[in-house]
């Protein structure tokens, strides 16, 4: 890779060891309501939006509450996990420190909303490391497109060609490439099925442990 002036990081699965939180919320929610947890439930809801998953849960278990009530309960549970329990990947902070020591500016491009990413980064002591934050909640298109990466670069006052994007997902690598940025694939067990293609497409590939 050529030298870069700015590094833009995804969070879930890249810096944050957070993707298992959704399984935990599923388990805790069902247990709290005296409902059985089975692997096929997690597999089913994993392919759905939150709204669809809530509607499916009501139908599957014959619940008397509305999907909106379930969504509010899930939101509360997820917010608590991000604020208190989700760690950085083992070597992520050390790598961020090394980039800062070299004068590289740091930013975030994430699919998370601010009420999740801000508490998680603050709890891990790195929120102040980042000069700018961008979320797909602020753009018309998701991670498969350049929008969120370009927004992060704009807020950092950096040209796209001087930025490197760190992503664990293939769609994110493609979106960052479309933005004209260098790309670094990050190993994560949840994206292992796409690792070969990520390695092929990205300019580099690393692991934070």
Single residue among 84, 113, 136 that ends a domain in this structure: 84
The set of residues, in sequence order, having a beta carbon less than 8 Å from that of 38 and lying 6+ positions away, is none
Give pLDDT tens digits for 88-119.
999 999 999 999 999 999 999 999 999 999 99
Helix, coil or strand: residue 134: strand
pLDDT reported for residue 89: 97
pLDDT band at 20 (very low <50, low <70, confident <90, very high): confident
Query: Which CATH number goes with the domain that contains 201?
Result: 3.40.50.1000
Please give the pLDDT value at position 56. 95
- Confidence at residue 147, expressed as pLDDT on a 0 to 100 scale: 97
Of the candidates 141, 207, 208, 133, the one whose C-alpha atom is nearest the C-alpha of residue 174 is 141
62 & 92 share domain:
no
C-alpha of 170 from chain center: 13
Mean pLDDT of 11-20: 92
Per-residue pLDDT tens for 142-201? 999 999 999 999 999 999 999 999 999 999 999 999 999 999 999 999 899 999 999 999
d(Cα 2, Cα 58) in Å, to the nearest integer? 52
Query: Based on the domain organization, do 105 and 176 belong to the same domain?
Result: yes
Q: Are residues 143 and 183 in the same domain?
A: yes
Q: In the predicted model, what is the mean pLDDT of residues 121-131?
A: 98
Query: In whole angstroms, what is the distance from residue 184 CA to residue 176 CA?
Result: 10
Residues 127 and 193 in one domain: yes
Q: Which of 51, 84, 117 is the last residue of a domain?
A: 84
Domain that holds residue 31: 21-84
Per-residue pLDDT, 22: 81
- Residue 140 forms part of a structural domain: yes
- Check residues 159 and 40 and name the one with the higher pLDDT: 159
Contact 136, 142 (CB under 8 A): yes
Q: Is residue 36 part of a domain?
A: yes
Q: How crowded is residue 13: how many other Cβ atoms within 10 Å of its Cβ? A: 21
Edge-first strand listing for the sheet containing 204-206: 132-135, 105-110, 6-9, 163-167, 182-186, 204-206
The pLDDT assigned to 127 comes to 98
Ramachandran angles phi, psi of 188, nearest 5°:
-155, 140
Give yes or no: residues 110 and 162 share one domain. Answer: yes
pLDDT computed for residue 45 by the predictor: 85
Q: How much is the pLDDT for 192? A: 93
Beta bridge partners of 209: none
Q: For the segment 41-67, what is each residue's pLDDT rounded down to a tens digit?
A: 988 887 787 789 899 999 999 999 999
What local confidence, expressed as pLDDT, does residue 90 receive?
96
Which is higher by pLDDT, 12 or 50?
A: 12
1 falls within a domain: no
Confidence (pTM): 0.89
Q: What is the CATH number of the domain that holds 45?
A: 1.10.150
Say how far apart CA 94 and CA 120 lie, in whole Å. Answer: 17
The verdict on residue 65 lying in a domain is yes
Find how far residue 165's CA is from the centre of its chain.
Answer: 13
**pLDDT at residue 204 greater than cutoff 90:** yes
Please, which pLDDT band fits residue 7 given cuts at 50, 70 and 90? very high
In a domain, 150, yes or no: yes
Matching residue, tokens 């909106």: 68
Q: Clarify whether residues 76 and 104 are in a common domain.
A: no
């Amino acid at each position: 890779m050529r030298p870069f002036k700015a590094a833009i990081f995804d969070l879930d699965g890249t810096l944050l060891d957070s993707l298992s939180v959704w399984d935990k919320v599923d388990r805790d929610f069902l247990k709290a309501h005296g409902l059985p947890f089975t692997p096929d439930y997690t597999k089913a809801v994993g392919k759905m939006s939150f709204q669809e998953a809530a509607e499916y849960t009501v139908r599957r278990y014959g619940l008397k509450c509305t999907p909106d009530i379930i969504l509010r309960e899930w939101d509360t549970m997820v917010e608590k996990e991000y604020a208190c329990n989700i760690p950085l990947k083992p070597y992520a902070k050390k790598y961020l420190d090394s980039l800062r020591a070299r004068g590289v500016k740091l930013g975030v491009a994430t699919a998370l909303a601010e009420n999740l990413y801000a508490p998680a980064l603050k709890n891990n002591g790195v929120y102040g490391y980042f000069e700018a934050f961008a979320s797909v909640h602020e753009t018309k298109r998701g991670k498969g497109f350049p929008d969120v990466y370009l927004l992060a670069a704009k807020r950092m006052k950096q040209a796209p060609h001087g930025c490197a994007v760190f992503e664990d997902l293939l769609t994110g690598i493609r979106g960052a490439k479309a933005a004209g940025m260098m790309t670094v694939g990050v190993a994560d067990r949840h994206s292992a099925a796409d690792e070969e293609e990520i390695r092929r497409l990205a300019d580099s590939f690393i692991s934070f442990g």
